[in-house]
A and B are shown apart, each in its own frame.
Chain A
Amino acid sequence: MSDNGTFKPVIVGFLCNWCSYRAADLAGTSRMGYPATLRDIRIMCTGRLDPTFVLRALQKGADGVLIMGCHPGQCHYQEGNYKAIRRFALLKRTLRQLGLEEERVQLHWASAAEGVRFAETVTRMTKEITALGPLDWSHNWPNEDPYALEEAAHE
Chain B
Amino acid sequence: MSDKKGKLGLYWASSCGGCEIAVLALHEKILDVAAAFDIVFWPCVMDFKYEDVEALEDGEIDVCLFNGAIRNDENAHMAHVLRQKSKVLVAFGACSFGGSMPGLANFTDKDAMFDWIYKQSPSTDNPQGTLPQKHSQVPEGELTLPNFWRTVKTLAQIVPVDYYLPGCPPEAHQIEAAVTAIVTGQLPPPGSVIGPDVTVCDECSRTKNEKKIKHFYRPQEIIPDPDVCLLEQGLFCAGIGTRSGCGALCPQVGMGCRGCYGPNEGVLDHGAKILTGIASVLDANTPEEVDKILDTLPDPAGYFYRFHLPQSLLRRRALGNGQKQTAKTGEAT
Contact = CB atoms under 8 A, between A and B. Distances in A.
B318 A137 contact: yes
Given A90-B275, A90-B279, A93-B294, A141 B301 contact: no
A144 interface: yes
Given A86-B280, A89-B294, A146-B73, A97 B332 contact: yes
B304 interface: yes
A145 B317 contact: no
A144 B153 CA distance: 10
Interface residues of B, number: 54
Interface stretch (B114-122, B164-172, B182-190, B284-292): B284-292
A33 to B, nearest CB: 29
Contact of B279 (A86, A101, A102, A132): A86
Main secondary structure of the interface of B (DSSP, over half): mixed
Given A52-B272, A59-B313, A146-B76, A96 B326 contact: yes
A142 B157 CA distance: 12
Given A144-B151, A146-B73, A139 B284 contact: no
Contacts of B278: 90
B315 interface: yes
B275 A140 contact: no
A133 B325 CA distance: 14
A27 B269 CA distance: 34
Contact of B322 (A83, A85, A100): A100
Given A87-B279, A140-B317, 8 more contacts: A86-B280, A89-B290, A94-B271, A136-B321, A137-B318, A140-B151, A140-B315, A146-B76
Interface of B: 70, 73, 76-77, 80, 107, 147, 149-151, 153, 158, 267-269, 271-273, 275-276, 278-280, 282, 284-287, 290-291, 294, 299-302, 304, 312-323, 325-326, 329, 331-333
